[in-house]
Structure 1
């Protein structure tokens, strides 16, 4: 009996020790549910449409965060979506960053915004926020072609795989014609609220507000720095959007055409100048345009003006190519630049047709033809024939450098010297008359009666 008691006692002791050890291990689990603490954080807003201007801003913001030796970047994402290529570039920027990146969704992160969030190390959402609905659409708002949808679906799947998230959820957000049992029926796309995102592993945590988020990572609001877009970057984001880019080109080209039909340099020319300046400024700040593109555009304008006075076609053709090259090369995408320019040229051609129909070509040609009538009543006096002055002699009343005034047979005559400098008071002789141009040279000794 004593042996049995001893065994039982040892068993109880082992069980007690096991329970104590298990309790210690379990006590550590809640601590692991809290996020790692960080020393320095940078807050970066990702708002409005995802486009090239935002991409340029985020490149600067991440570089600045690294320069400040931050170890945590919080992206506050609130976007309806945007360009797939821009989202892809931003996703690559996040993946290549050595910093820990948290995507904080306080409102919405649809389409391209979801892709950006999936590339972050963690996703944190607030109650009432949502993500998903990532089917790409065209400018008309319809679903894009199958090839584009397939490629984008693979990009979303790859982003989900980065942090071991269910790739079918990402695909269900994109593929409208595919059924995903338990996620969505065919003919719809998947979007997630914060609770379902957490259940499906697409949200790592849910917090009530910004302060709770900062507390989660051990960051004080006083020490955290926010990197905001500059005024120039905001202008660049606005200008580089496809719709605004097309509008600026339309305004610029139409302004030139209207200005050609108006006397002097007026409102249309000023508006055109402002439109083109905004176009190049926005693309320059965004990092897409440089001085070569601006120079090509200005050279093209100059050559087109010269073509008016030096007809022949070659100068004008080179000018047109320079203008197109400058505008398209300054755009963030050649295809988009050509499309925007094509729309602008079409609208400008329609406006030019309407103006010519209303005012005729005379309205345009009058801009380059002298319109003042030269009549005796308005004080015009035709120059008299001075060819009889050839061979006549006189004296220089002023120095000739080479223009000057000479006194020829008692009459003051404006003239130019045939060669070098002629001092005042020197004898001169008229050697040539071309219209109103009188040419004299210093009279040499023993040159009586000689003329050229």
Structure 2
């Protein structure tokens, strides 16, 4: 009986081991596709997300990276960074052009190992233009031409054996890639001079720039023998979602209100308190996302800080209001505006007029709204009688009737007294009355040293004298 039990137990262990091994083998043989969407303009945010997506795909040991693309283009520098990351990827990368792969999108597509296009999609038109659609100078075009050619060349050549002859042909013709940038390129049967090349799916297939016409991601996976693969899709991190929220013009306007409102509140009370903390935190939240998005440069942030310092000097140090205050306001306003637009130093070639208007409106409305709100709240919150924080404000009035006096009583007794000017009064100086020296000011003109004087009035601890 014991022998039978032992046999059953051993048999059960063998079955469990075999089943577990089969499950592990199945799990290990399961294909994994990492899907990453590029469905907006190419910008620093897309480059950051690309780095995160490729890092996650590597950590998961994905068998294929699929880029689902629909973009009209974007910044060349970010597209070039994405292109380089794709070319250096050890995991094969394919792209599904779902309607558009224009300009920077075309460059990224050319870097992928295989290109698939939806019916009605387009690929090409990679001429470098500014935000208004105007063609940039030739130095930009020259760089883009070379980059497109190099990207096409990176895929190598096919070997063609015909009888005894062996020839080599580019898998993706570099001249075709250049024609997507330069209208001067002529390729027989492909493009005439004077036109920028943009492929339809059929044209791309014919010229080796598309491996298949598909209507869905599933069809793309089927053509790559990945129809049963597990798909992991990139999800933006909380930081990416937060940055996208913070660069919204409405949020930027609110932060500007808090910055200027906090500074105004702080100037109404001595010392450093909560309002300044609000202003500092708001400034960090305003500039940090813009800096990470590649909008706010170091010098633009510095311009804002210098502007605030000049305004503070104008208020607390320099008497009156002049060049210091005007310069401070100009620098502060300019720093806030320039941080919202895609200018390169003082070059505004890539700045669209609409973007500039939005930036100006955001900063202007935020500034006016912040200062107005600060004034309103300070009146409502700190009014001695009705304010919510009225207990923090001074209620008593130090009136003369109550015995409060801001002038030394001895000075009041000097009114009508005669003396002599110890120094020349121009108009202020020193006088002597009954052997005591006092500061005094001539009511009019200048009084020479040694001249007899008489005190005509005493105001705010100041003696006023005339010639006796």
TM-score, normalised relative to structure 2? 0.54
Deviation per residue, 1:249-299 (Å, 9 max, x gap): 999499959x98xx99xxxx9xx9999666424236658889x99996886
Tell me what 2:63 maps to.
Answer: 71
- Matching residue of 1:381: 399
Contact 2:255 2:285 in 1 (8 A): no
Do structure 1's residue 200 and structure 2's residue 200 form an aligned pair? no
Structure 2 counterparts to residues 120-199 of structure 1, below 5 A: 120-163=112-155, 164-199=171-206
Select which of 86, 90, 96 maps to 2:88: 96
Per-residue CA distance 1:294-329 (angstroms, 9 max, x = gap): 996886576345322122899989988996998799
Give secondary structure in 1 for the equivalent of 2:399: coil
Aligned to 1:214: 221
Distance 1:208 1:48, change over 3 A: same
Show structure 2 runs of 5+ residues with no match: 1-28, 156-170, 269-275, 369-374, 385-395, 411-459, 462-468
Residues 387 and 209 (structure 1), Cα distance of their counterparts in 2 relative to 1, 3 Å cut: closer
3-state SS in 1 of match to 2:230: coil
Mapping 1:211-250, distance limit 5 Å: 211-220=218-227, 223-230=230-237, 232-234=239-241, 236=243
Residue 36 of structure 2 aligns to a residue in which SS? strand
SS at 2:149 equivalent: helix
Shift of 1:159: 0.8
CA distance in 2 between partners of 1:179 and 1:161 (Å): 19
Distance 1:115 1:153 in 2: 10
User: Following the alignment from structure 1 to structure 2, what is the Cα–Cα distance between the partners of residues 227 and 137?
Assistant: 30
CA 1:225/1:165 → structure 2, altered by over 3 Å: closer, same or farther?
same
- Counterpart among 309, 314, 322 of residue 316 in structure 2: 309
Correspondence for 1:21: none
CA–CA distance in structure 1, aligned partners of residues 41 and 300 of structure 2: 27
State how far apart, in whole Å, the 2-side matches of 1:108 and 1:170 are: 16
Q: How far apart, CA to CA, are the structure 1 residues paired with 2:245 and 2:179? A: 32
**Cα deviation code 1:227-253 (max 9, x no counterpart):** 03246425646877xxx78x9599949
CA shift for structure 1 position 43: 0.1
Q: What's the secondary structure of 1:158's corresponding residue?
A: helix
Q: Distance in 2 between matches of 1:127 and 1:215?
A: 17
**Match for residue 466 of structure 2?**
none
Unaligned runs of 5+ residues in structure 1 are 1-36, 356-362, 373-377, 390-434, 437-452
Verify the 8 A CA contact 1:172 1:178 in the aligned structure 2.
yes
Aligned residue for 1:45, secondary structure, equals strand
**TM, length-normalised to structure 1:** 0.56
Query: Is this contact kept in 1: 2:122–2:201, CA < 8 A?
Result: yes
After superposition, residues 35-54 of structure 1 pair within 5 angstroms as 39-54=31-46
Of the candidates 312, 331, 344, which is equivalent to residue 335 of structure 1?
344
Instruction: Give the total of aligned pairs.
Output: 325
CA RMSD of aligned residues (A): 5.4
Given that residues 38 and 71 in structure 1 are in contact (C-alpha distance below 8 angstroms), is that contact kept between their aligned partners in structure 2? no
Shift of 1:215: 2.4
The equivalent residue for 2:19 is: none
Paired residue for 2:52, among 49, 57, 60? 60
**Distance change (3 Å), C-alpha of 1:173 and 1:71:** same
Residues 189, 299 of structure 1: alpha-carbon distance in 2 compared, 3 angstrom cutoff: closer
1:49 Cα offset (Å): 0.5
Secondary structure, aligned partner of 2:220: helix
SS of 2:208's equivalent?
coil
Shift of 1:216: 2.8
User: What is the deviation of 1:88?
Assistant: 0.7
C-alpha displacement of 1:127: 2.3
